[in-house]
């Protein structure tokens, strides 16, 4: 575990302890930085200690804990460490996720299980670990980074789409369970976003089809009326809004950040 002094002392989330899973890169890192800028005390959680250390060193987070969200015991222990060291976690952003591609007839049950475990079970385990503290405090925000794949289907990613639909179902059901407690549960659903995950997808398209990177990118962004990838910072801004007291009436929602695709 690493720690650093927060440099931001003012903002709508000042003093609130936030945990961002998958916080070392992509949307998770952008979200950690945005929460820090809004005054939150941010702990980033992920598998790769080096990138988590970099996030803390850069001032995007105050602390880090290492765990793979697919490892239930390690995740529970990491949450306990963060809570004991820095106080109850009142803002949880489940940003850890992964995507694998294959046509359905080549998609193994093992792939379905991997996609479910990282995209759904990981969020469930982490939420179960922090929710009692939120309920005791009478305030909490659980925000699941879902996807437009929670809202529609895409070719060649049946396992991923299935898992992301499951994550949205979890979001909506838990929102009903905690309604009136001061805790809200919502999902942010980005379209194709400028992250390493999408860069890897482009590389696979190029390798599989022989198309250029530019052609592959154009294919991915064709459904977005803006004609471009979503920026991680745009997703993070939506998360910051949902974390605020002013968003107390928003519960069980799927906020699409997709340029109008859905």
- pLDDT (tens, 9 = 90+) of the chain, 262 residues, equals 444 433 345 689 999 999 999 999 999 999 999 999 999 999 999 999 999 999 999 999 999 999 999 999 999 999 999 999 999 999 999 999 999 999 999 999 999 999 999 999 999 999 999 999 999 999 999 999 999 999 999 999 999 999 999 999 999 999 999 999 999 999 999 999 988 777 877 787 778 778 888 887 888 888 899 999 999 999 999 999 999 999 999 999 999 999 999 9
Q: Which residue is catalytic, options 154, 156, 160, 241?
A: 160
Determine the pLDDT at residue 221.
86
Burial of 31 (0-12, 13-18, 19+ CB in 10 A): buried
Active site residue 154: no
Q: Are 187 and 171 in contact (CB under 8 A)?
A: yes
Determine the pLDDT at residue 10.
65
Burial of 23 (0-12, 13-18, 19+ CB in 10 A): buried
Residue ranges covered by each domain of the chain: 2-6+14-191+232-249, 193-229
Task: Looking at the structure, give the CATH architecture of the domain made up of residues 2-6+14-191+232-249.
Answer: 3-Layer(aba) Sandwich (3.40)
Determine the pLDDT at residue 206.
77
H or E stretch including 107? none
Distance of alpha carbon 184 from alpha carbon 251, whole angstroms: 5
Distance of alpha carbon 53 from alpha carbon 235, whole angstroms: 23
Q: Quick one: tokens of 118?
A: 């990282």
């Amino acid at each position: 575990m690493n720690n650093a002094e927060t440099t931001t002392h003012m903002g709508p989330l000042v003093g609130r302890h936030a945990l961002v899973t998958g916080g070392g890169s992509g949307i998770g890192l952008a979200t950690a930085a945005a929460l820090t800028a809004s005054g939150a005390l941010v702990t980033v959680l992920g598998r790769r200690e080096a990138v988590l250390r970099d996030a803390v060193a850069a001032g995007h987070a105050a602390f880090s804990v290492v765990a793979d969200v697919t490892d239930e015991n390690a995740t529970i222990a990491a949450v306990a460490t963060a809570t004991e060291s820095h106080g109850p976690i009142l803002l949880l952003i489940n940003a850890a996720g992964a995507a694998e591609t294959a046509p359905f007839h080549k998609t193994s049950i093992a792939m379905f299980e991997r996609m479910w475990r990282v995209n759904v079970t990981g969020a469930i385990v982490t939420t179960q670990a922090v929710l009692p503290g939120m309920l005791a405090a009478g305030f909490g925000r659980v925000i699941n980074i879902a996807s437009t794949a929670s809202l529609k289907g895409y070719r060649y990613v049946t396992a991923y789409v299935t898992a992301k639909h499951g994550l949205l179902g979890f979001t909506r059901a838990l929102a009903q369970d905690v309604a009136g407690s001061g805790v809200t549960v919502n999902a942010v659903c980005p379209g194709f976003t400028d992250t390493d995950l999408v860069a890897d997808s482009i590389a696979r398209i190029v390798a599989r089809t022989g198309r250029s990177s530019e052609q592959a990118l154009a294919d991915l962004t064709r459904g977005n009326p803006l004609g471009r990838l979503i920026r991680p910072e745009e997703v993070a801004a939506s998360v910051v809004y949902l974390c605020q007291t002013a968003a107390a009436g928003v519960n069980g929602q799927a906020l699409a950040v997709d340029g109008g695709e859905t």
